Structure formats: C-alpha cells, structure tokens
Structure 1
Amino acid sequence: MSLPSDQPYSHETVLLHETVEAVDVGSGVYVDGTFGRGGHSRLLLSRLDADARLIVFDKDPLAIATANELAAEDSRVTVVQRGFAELSSVLKQAGLMGQVSGILLDLGVSSPQLDDAERGFSFRADGPLDMRMNPESGESAAQWIARVSEKELADVLFQYGDERFSRRIARAIVTARQKQPIERTLQLAEIIKTAHPKWDHKKHPATKSFQAIRIAVNGELDELDAVLSASVGALKPGGRLAVISFHSLEDRAVKQFIKLQAKGPELPPGLPVRDEDIHVTMKAVGKAIKASAEEVAVNVRSRSAVLRVAEKLSR
C-alpha cells in the first residue's frame, strides 16, 4: 500500500490474508477499527461487493491522511478519526447497530509509529517522550511520568509490562525526575537500563516498561474492553469479529471475552435454568492463529501476533 510522499516509513500488515478471510463474506457493512496504513482494508475492499460499505477508524493523523486518500479512490469507504472505543456511538448515530457483517481489529502500534523517533514509542532512537496514538490529543508519556505516583507507576510496569523489577525501576524514574524532567525516549531508556539488575541480553531492558507506559498513556486495555463489548450489539447474526493481539494482556482479554460470550454469564451452582435460557451471544471460530514461519522471517514483528475470531449467533 502506498504512503503519503512525506512518510518514509513502511508497514508490513500482519496476518493479512488470514484476518480478511475470517470476516470476508462479500456484502454488507464492515468496520476496520485500526486502519493503520490500510493493508487489511485494501484487501478487504478488493473482495467486497460494489454495494458494500467499509467504515475505518484511527486516531493517528497520518493514518487518517492515508485513509482519506483511500476514501477518495473508493466511495465505499467512510473515515472516522476516533478510537475504536467509540464504535458503538458512531454506529448508533449512523443507524447501523446490529447490521455489521465484520469487525477487524489489529491492536498495538504500527511499524511507522515505532520507526518514527518523533512519535516517542522507541527506546532505540532518541525522540520526544510522547507515545500517544494521536499526538494532537491527550496527555503525553512525558506529562504522565512527571505526575504519576511511584506506587501507580510500579503497578503499571508490573501489570501492563509484566516487569519483575517494577518497583526498582519506578523508584529510579521518580528519583531521576526530581533532578530534571524526563522528556526524551533515550533518557528514559537509560534510566530503566541502569536500574534494571538483570535482563535478557537479546531484548532491551526497557522493552517491558515502554510497553506498559504506552498502554497506560493510551488507555489501551480500557478501549479494548469497550470495543469488545460494543461488538456484540454492532454485529448482525453471522457477523464476524477478528482481533489480532500482540501481547498476553490483549490476547487474554480477547480470549476471555469470546469464552464468556460463548458460555454465557456465570450462574450459581444448582440454579434451575435451562440451557436455552442462558444468554449466549457468540461462538469461537476455529483456534487461535499465529503467523507462519515464512511471515515471521519477512516481518519479525509478527512473531507475537495472535488472531482470534468469533461469530455472532442468531439467538
């Protein structure tokens, strides 16, 4: 897919064919909740009927610029510069709740965002400590780090990054910010590296902490919970939800959501309820799908990707 002329960063779409095939039935309304650079959307459009409709969401201004180019080429495309957590409100306003044939979510950060040091996601290249999916809105990572308490920071590093040395790193960050503001990515990465007593030398010691801070700054898990809940009401019977996750927190949330929808709410043992009275909304479609060895060889970032698919039931 082409990028704007002033955007030198490329993006390899992960699990491209597997994801599109999971939701592709040809006609109706579809949603790409994470447009990125449009890899999934373009392939999906190539398979949809002429009267189909594709609504694409993204917060990132550069992604929106690319999405607007696609909309200019294809009248089936509607562009929404919002996070996918607002799926329900957008569809309600358009009168499309319960009419969606497919919802596609490719979670995490795109390659252009990671590779552009000015976005502040990278611990390998110096740039402003931003990390916002939409740099024009909300609180930057630098602003968050400047105000967060040591306890909350340690909790975020542990819960969102699975960082064993979260307390030690949090203490080091709080101590460092008392001397001078932490405003650059390499500045933060060096503080974490110095504080970290032990790490896998194949992985940068700031990897988990940067992931955790990014998740906190963007409210990613809360947004994921919101869009998963909204998907039940948005999809029509037989409609598909396809979600690509890149770390265990995301994948666990998706897996548990699908399991709950397929099983129904937990009820007290011995409660006299018939199976047909249990509110089951979805079923899992197949098993979790991971990138092939061939894809990982071409795009190393696909190695942690997990695709899960669910289908809306008629009852």
Structure 2
Amino acid sequence: MTGRDDGPAGVAGGPARHVPVLLGEVLAALAPRDGGLYLDGTFGAGGYTSAILAVPGARVIALDRDPDAIAAGAPLVAAAGGRLALVETVFGAMEAAARGQGADRLDGVVLDIGVSSMQIDEGERGFSLRFDGPLDMRMAQAGESAAEVVNTADEALLADIIYNFGEERRARAVARAIVERRAAAPIATTKELADLVASVVWAEPHGPHPATRTFQALRIYVNDELGELARALHAAERLLRPGGRLAVVTFHSLEDRIVKQFLARRAGRAGGGSRHLPEEAGEAPTFRLVTRGAVAPSEAECRANPRARSAKLRAAERTDAPAREEDESVMSLATLPERRFRKRGR
C-alpha cells in the first residue's frame, strides 16, 4: 500500500490530500534540477510528479496503467505548461513510453511500487479488505481478474500463487478451501474471499486480517507486479544518462528483494548480497549506490500515515558503463518457480 495517491500543496496542479511516502527522501535521492528530464513510472495522483515539477524547468514523463489515474491527471498536465506528458502504460514498458515522447536519455527515474491508496480505498476496484466489492484487482481495468483466477485456476497453481506471492504458510489449505467453495458457487466478491480465507487462516492478536497475504498474492499475480518491476529496473538502466538517479520505494519483502539484488549486482556487489549467486566478474558497475541499505520513513511519518510503515527506499546513480543484458537471477525472483513446494508450511 503506497502513498503515491496524493501530491503536495503549492506545486503544479494545486492542493492535494496528503504527502506521498518518503517524499523528502525520494527528492533528495533523485536530486531534480532545472532542465532535467525525469520519468515517474507510478503516477497515481501525481505526488512525486508534482514535487519534481516544483523545480523550475524540470520536465516529467509520467506513466500509469490505470485509466482513472490518467483521466484524473489531466488538470496537472494542463497546469504544467508543457512540462508534463502523461502516458497510459505499465512502467515495465517505460523505454517505449520515453522514446514515444522523443526521449532516449533521462536524468532520473522514480518508482513507487504496489497498489495506490486511491485504488485500495475504492471498494468497487476489488483490492480492499475493508470495503466489499467485486473481486477484481486489475490496475489497468482490463485482462484477467482476480475472480477469474480464483474460480478457474487449479488447486496447485492457486497454492503456488498464494505461497510465493503472499508468503502465506497456509497456502495449501487456502487453495483447497477455494476449490471446495467454488464447486458450489463462484466466489464473486472480496468479502466472500476474505471470509473464506479467515475460516482457514488463524488471526493473530492485533495482527493484519487473515486474508491480507492471500489478497496481496492475487493482486501481484493478476497485475504481474514483480515482472513489471524487474523489467522496469533493467529499462531504467538503459535509459538513465551517466549521473542519472534511480529511486525506488517498495512496500513488502518480495519487491525489496528484487530491487536490492538488482542494485547490488549492478553496483558490483558479489551475488547481490547472496553467497549462492556468482559474482559478475569483469563487468564494470552500471550503478553507484546512493542510499546505504534501505531508507525507512520516520516515526513521525508513520504516525501521520500508517500506510508508510513498511516502505523502503533504495536509490542509485548511473555510471558511464554500458547497460548490461537482463539479469536472469533478478528476473527469476519475479516469477513462480516451476517446482512445487514441499508440503511443510503449506
């Protein structure tokens, strides 16, 4: 859950409801400048874009796959006076989007991964555990919905999705319950699914809803979120000019693991922090790390915006080394493994 639903008051586009997560830290890492060209791969309601446009002369290409976000961003485009282009596409396709705007080199790329607050808070979008609605979860409002996955995928695939993308230890029990329930009638709403999961996953005192991990898993699968992230990181490497900055805000361990490994390997750290992966000997680093580890929000920010609690920022600066081929070890973190997991914990 992210904070990219809102833009700060006093910048192009006018007042907004809240400040995006880690805004000050993202701007410090991105270091936007007069005349620079930046890509916001996760526009939302324009929070980071608005802050970049507050720098005189800075220009932004902003992307979002959600047609509602694109429509809502029209006033910001108008207010930006030609300094903002808003493109409806996934951020994994940022290279084509940037070149479609006549840009083959960028001074910065910012990504705020996951579902936006405005999507979470609209029950009819089917992301929320708090508001009942159709079991949808499609950010682009097109393609296979969560309801289709839940009601048609075989039990083994459902278990793998929930285990790998939700890190749900009771994934096998959840998948079995889904298959048994849908045999009587399709599972059509978020409440139906949430109640079903809660019947087989034990609630922890003061913990999140028992269906939180299952909902996360389905959302990631339906939107190929981890695949888009891995593709975006490689595209940013190709697009950023030497000295250009990449800033990525993640909200759970699966996202952060991909960013951490990609940046570590591209910065010349052996195996991306894993002793099980070989070092890419002989290749010049394509990034220099800007942040030491992950930057977390302050206690004050977490109090003001509880959704910021799990946020992590990692940032790096592009070197003048040529971009490399896609890293298979990074890409593999974004897909379901071919093997079936052991019964233990499932």
Question: In structure 1, what residue type is equivalent to 2:283?
Answer: I
RMSD: 2.1
Alignment check: 8 A CA contact 1:121 1:129 kept: yes
Which position in structure 1 is the counterpart of 2:172?
Answer: 167
Alignment of 1:97-176 (within 5 A): 97=104, 99-135=105-141, 137-176=142-181
Q: How does 1:6-25 map to 2 (within 5 A)?
A: 12-25=19-32
Cα separation, partners in 2 of 1:261 and 1:141, compared to 1, 3 Å: same
**Letter aligned with residue 90 of structure 2:** G
Aligned to 2:68: 62
Higher helix share: 1
Is the alpha carbon distance of 1:246 and 1:234 closer, same or farther for their aligned partners in structure 2, counting shifts above 3 Å? same
What SS does the aligned partner of 2:115 have? Answer: coil
Amino acid in structure 1 at the alignment position of 2:42: T
Post-superposition Cα deviations, 1:190-239, rounded to whole Å, max 9, x if no partner, equal 00001114544421100111001100000000000100011111000000
Q: Are 1:283 and 2:288 matched, yes or no?
A: yes
d(CA) in 1 for partners of 2:213, 2:38: 34
Partner of 1:42: 50
Is 2:165–2:216's contact at 8 Å kept on the other side of the alignment?
yes
Deviation at 1:12, TM superposition (A): 4.3
Indicate the SS of the match to 2:54.
Answer: helix
Seq. identity, %: 44
1:278 deviation in Å?
Answer: 2.1
Q: How does 1:1-315 map to 2 (within 5 A)?
A: 1=7, 12-26=19-33, 27-47=35-55, 49-50=56-57, 52-74=58-80, 75-97=82-104, 99-135=105-141, 137-197=142-202, 199-263=204-268, 277-287=282-292, 288-315=294-321
Counterparts of 1:42 and 1:130, CA distance in 2 = 29
Contact 2:8–2:47 under 8 Å retained in 1? no
Give TM-score scaled by structure 1 length. 0.90
CA contact (8 A) 1:10 1:111 kept: no
SS in 2 for 1:131: coil
Match of residue 270 from structure 1: none
Distance 1:2 1:129, change over 3 A: farther
Number of residue-to-residue matches in the alignment: 299
C-alpha distance in 2 between matches for 1:2 and 1:230: 28
Could you list the structure 1 runs, at least 4 aligned residues long, displaced by more than 3 angstroms after superposition.
9-12, 92-95, 197-201
Q: Which residue of the partner structure matches residue 271 of structure 1?
A: none
The answer to whether the 8 A contact 1:262-1:284 is kept is yes
Give me the whole-angstrom Cα distance separating, in 1, the residues matched to 2:17 and 2:129: 19
Q: Which sections of structure 2, spanning at least 5 residues, go unmatched?
A: 1-6, 10-15, 272-279, 322-346
Q: Distance in 2 between matches of 1:207 and 1:257?
A: 27
Taking a change above 3 Å as real, the CA distance of residues 265 and 138 of structure 1, as seen in their structure-2 partners, is farther
* TM-score of the superposed pair, with normalisation by structure 2: 0.82
> Which whole-Å CA distance do the structure 1 matches of 2:17 and 2:197 have between them?
29
Do the aligned partners of 2:32 and 2:52 also contact (CA within 8 Å) in 1? no
In structure 2, distance between residues paired with 1:201 and 1:176: 28
Letter in 2 for 1:252: R
Q: CA deviation at 1:186?
A: 0.2
d(CA) in 1 for partners of 2:220, 2:18: 21
1:61 CA displacement: 1.9
Separation in 1 of the partners of 2:204 and 2:64? 35
C-alpha change, 1:93 and 1:53, in structure 2 (3 Å) is same
Residue type matched to 1:61 in 2? P
| Distance (whole Å) between structure 2 residues aligned to residue 193 and residue 66 of structure 1 | 35
Cα distance in 2 for residues equivalent to 1:16 and 1:172 = 41
For residues 71 and 224 of structure 1, the distance between their equivalents in structure 2, rounded to whole angstroms, comes to: 25
Judge conservation of contact 1:55–1:79 (CA < 8 Å) in 2: yes
CA distance in 1, matches of 2:102, 2:320: 20
